[in-house]
Amino acid sequence: MTKWSRSDGEWSAAKRTIGVGGQDCDLSEIVICLRPLHASGRIHGDIKPLNIMRDFRGRWMLIDLDASARIGVESAGAKASEAYCCPQIARHALVAKKADPAAVGPMAHPAMDVWGAGVVLYELLTGRQLFPRDARTDRITTELGRRRLCMWLCASDDVLAHVADPAARHLVAWCLQGDPDDRPALKDILAHPFMTAVTPSLSKPLTAETPS
């Protein structure tokens, strides 16, 4: 694997405030929350900033398991947030189900949560929305944005250009692969050079701007 290094300044631009109450969080904490859930045979199904928060002991947790589904057993996506759902779920909800209301969605797969984590990481790193969305509902607000998600194969150079750090850019591109089999497992994310570098505790507020 290609090796990267990053300065403290580069990390400070990557570590932003997300979740309820503006608490300081980074992707490794999200992945650590996901590991026991996947080990139990379920996905979360709706990874997004509003579903990431601290409990009263200060520990990070994922909330709102309404979209959770059993891996390989249950279909997923019925309650997923449009701007954070993967292309497979989007195509079912926005195309297949409209053509056939009885159509069954894709089976739950850990890679669905990896996609959501990748979108969150992109927003943490860039301060931009991957897709233009309504902040209250997390629905994509333009037809072009919905088409982009449904037809997504991989992150374009234009999208990745907003991620300044090379290691981070590689991880974002990996998490946002259109084919779920091409996305990393949680252990691969935690072992990635971007995640294993020294991480000083400096944060900035997340202010995701709408993409042009």
Q: How confident is the model over 119-165, as pLDDT tens digits?
A: 999 988 888 999 999 988 999 999 999 999 999 999 999 999 999 88
Q: Are 22 and 46 in contact (CB under 8 A)?
A: no
Distance spanning both ends of the chain, measured CA to CA: 33
Looking at per-residue pLDDT, the higher value among 148 and 197 belongs to 148
Mean pLDDT of all residues in 4-12: 36
Mean pLDDT of all residues in 103-112: 94
What six digits make up the tokens of 37? 């859930």
| pLDDT band (50, 70, 90) for residue 35 | very high
Mean pLDDT of all residues in 26-42: 90
* H helix and E strand count, the chain: 10, 7
* pLDDT at residue 27 in the model: 81
Judging by beta carbons within 10 Å of its beta carbon (0-12, 13-18, 19+), is residue 96 exposed, middle or buried? middle
Q: What percent of the chain has pLDDT over 70?
A: 81
**pLDDT for 205 beyond 90:** no
* pLDDT at residue 24 in the model: 53
Q: How far is residue 93's CA from residue 2's CA, in Å, rounded to a whole number?
A: 37
- Angle, vertex CA 156, rays to CA 197 and CA 204, nearest 5: 45
- Angle, vertex CA 14, rays to CA 11 and CA 15, nearest 5: 90
Question: Shortest CA distance to 116 belongs to which of 91, 143, 89, 94?
Answer: 89
* pLDDT at residue 57 in the model: 81
* pLDDT at residue 52 in the model: 86
Q: How far is residue 185's CA from residue 188's CA, in Å, rounded to a whole number?
A: 5
* pLDDT at residue 17 in the model: 43
Cα torsion angle, 113, 116, 120, 122, sign: positive
**pLDDT for 21 beyond 70:** no
Question: Shortest CA distance to 84 belongs to which of 113, 105, 42?
Answer: 113
Average confidence score pLDDT of the chain: 82
Q: How far is residue 18's CA from residue 100's CA, in Å, rounded to a whole number?
A: 37
Looking at per-residue pLDDT, the higher value among 159 and 9 belongs to 159
Q: What is the pLDDT of residues 87-103, one digit of tens each?
A: 999 999 999 888 888 88
Q: Are 34 and 113 in contact (CB under 8 A)?
A: yes
Q: What percent of the chain has pLDDT over 90?
A: 56
| pLDDT band (50, 70, 90) for residue 186 | very high
- What is the model's pTM? 0.83
